[in-house]
Amino acid sequence: MNYIVKRLALILLAILVANPASSFNYSNTLSSSSFEFNIDPFFENDARNLISLSDDSNTDIISDSHGFNKSAAIVIGTEAVIITGIMASLYSSWYSGTETGGFHFYNDNGEWLLMDKMGHANSCYNFANIGYEALIMTGMDERHSILYGGPLGITIMTMVEIFDGLSSNWGFSWGDMTANVLGTGLFMGQQALWHEQRIALKYSYHYSGCPKYDVSNPVTMERDYIMGKDWLDRIYEDYSGITVWLACDVKSLFMKDTSNYPSWLGWAFGYGAEGMTGEYNNYQPAGRVGDDGNWGRGWEYDPLNAPGQLKYMPNDARQRRLFLAPDIDISRIPCKNKTLKHVLRVLSAIKLPTPALEYRPGNNRLCWNWFYF
């Protein structure tokens, strides 16, 4: 399912950076002239719908009406076309080869030690952020940007869940949908209440070594690459290397604006897991492959000298991991360039490497990481 997430993340970030409204914030610094750009009356009811452009680096998009405008319509229309195209491609490549039947449900809450649910929440939260920032850059007002941009992630993920519900190999997951709602609600609720994100979901990744366990059938040596075939796949599918963080802005939550505490320095609570080569366990398949419905993947450790010989990750290697770490919020670093500010707010979805205190509840062990990503 993460195919759709990673492709859309890259495309929508490109839309944000290339947003047609972003050019409205710039002018030729060699000239002191300014001019006005008239928005088509189809998008604005007020006859005085003018955007003023000048070479002032702090120039904003100005209009008497802050609802839909041409740039916002272009952004929303482009997103709709891209999402429709990718969904059609996803259905053709992922679902067309599977049997379809009546809509049904599937309880996958025990998979991957909840890391897939954390991924759903994180994806919906950050897609909401992308959708909101893209519309704010067009000059759309706060309320409409929240309403039309915020549901971007849950719209995408709901379509994926519907496809799952119609496929015999999967099913509609209420666990996934709950995570989708929580991620979307966290963003939209804060933006409506505080007009900023004081509590954010962030992501970090390091290669876990688990993707080399890719042999799903020890008889035919078939490989399913469920944890990713290349680095672009692995940053979303190698659950053993992913950590999802709940980052708190200490200053805006607990201090006055006049405090000297740096606004870009917060604290984050992280959740991760390691040692997972199967959805529910790492066990070697017994009997006919797939009879038990889930199993671990094998690693062909020496294909030249010992072809077909596999090693399996011990099942007790599956461990939950809890973290406490400082957080550097790049979205709060002072910046005069308005377009760069919007881009930094989106890129702040990545948790920068810092020291981290770690607790492993499986073996009741506390440890320290000098540099964790």
C-alpha–C-alpha distance, residues 269 and 213, integer Å: 29
Q: Is 317 found in the same domain as 226? A: yes
**Angle 109-110-111 (CA atoms, 0-180°, nearest 5)?**
95
Q: Is 144 found in the same domain as 40? A: yes
Q: Is 191 found in the same domain as 211? A: no
The candidate with the shortest Cα–Cα distance to 269, out of 184, 175, 354, is: 354
| Distances 66 to 44, 62, 360 between C-alpha atoms, Å | 9, 9, 50
Whether 235 and 262 have beta carbons less than 8 Å apart is answered as: no
Q: Is 300 found in the same domain as 325? A: yes
Token duo for residue 269: 């609570």
List the alpha helices (DSSP H) in the chain. 2-17, 70-90, 115-136, 142-149, 152-166, 174-194, 231-237, 250-254, 338-347
**HSE-up (13 A, CA, CB side) for residue 219:** 6
Q: Is 204 found in the same domain as 130? A: no
User: So what's the pLDDT on residue 24?
Assistant: 38
The pLDDT of residue 272 is above 60: yes
Q: Is 293 found in the same domain as 163? A: no
Asked which of 40-44, 125-129, 321-325, 345-349 is least confident by mean pLDDT, the reply is 40-44
What is this structure's pTM?
0.81
The candidate with the shortest Cα–Cα distance to 76, out of 155, 129, 1, 131, is: 131
Residue 37's CB: how many other CB atoms inside 10 A?
12
| Distances 171 to 166, 175, 181 between C-alpha atoms, Å | 7, 11, 18
pLDDT in tens, 44-94: 443 333 333 333 333 343 333 466 778 888 888 887 887 787 777 766 666
C-alpha–C-alpha distance, residues 29 and 282, integer Å: 61
Whether 182 and 118 have beta carbons less than 8 Å apart is answered as: no
For residue 206, which phi and psi values (nearest 5 degrees)?
Answer: -135, 150
pLDDT in tens, 176-213: 999 999 999 999 999 999 999 999 999 999 999 999 99
Q: Is 162 found in the same domain as 240? A: no
Residue 16's CB: how many other CB atoms inside 10 A?
23
Domain end among 160, 195, 230: 195
The candidate with the shortest Cα–Cα distance to 59, out of 20, 26, 18, is: 26
The candidate with the shortest Cα–Cα distance to 138, out of 39, 192, 188, 70, is: 70
User: So what's the pLDDT on residue 205?
Assistant: 96
Can you tell me whether residue 74 is helix, strand or coil?
Answer: helix
Q: Is 345 found in the same domain as 205? A: yes
How many structural domains are present in the chain?
2
Domain end among 195, 213, 248: 195
Domain end among 179, 195, 211: 195
C-alpha–C-alpha distance, residues 67 and 145, integer Å: 9
C-alpha–C-alpha distance, residues 201 and 182, integer Å: 11
Average pLDDT score over residue span 146-153: 92
Q: Which one has a higher pLDDT value, 260 or 77?
A: 260
Average pLDDT score over residue span 21-36: 36
Q: Is 322 found in the same domain as 224? A: yes
Q: Is 205 found in the same domain as 63? A: no
| Distances 295 to 175, 180, 269, 290 between C-alpha atoms, Å | 21, 27, 31, 7
| Residue ranges making up the domain that contains 137 | 1-195
User: So what's the pLDDT on residue 343?
Assistant: 85
**HSE-up (13 A, CA, CB side) for residue 289:** 13
Q: Is 236 found in the same domain as 315? A: yes
What is the average pLDDT value for the chain, to the nearest integer? 81
Q: Is 245 found in the same domain as 129? A: no
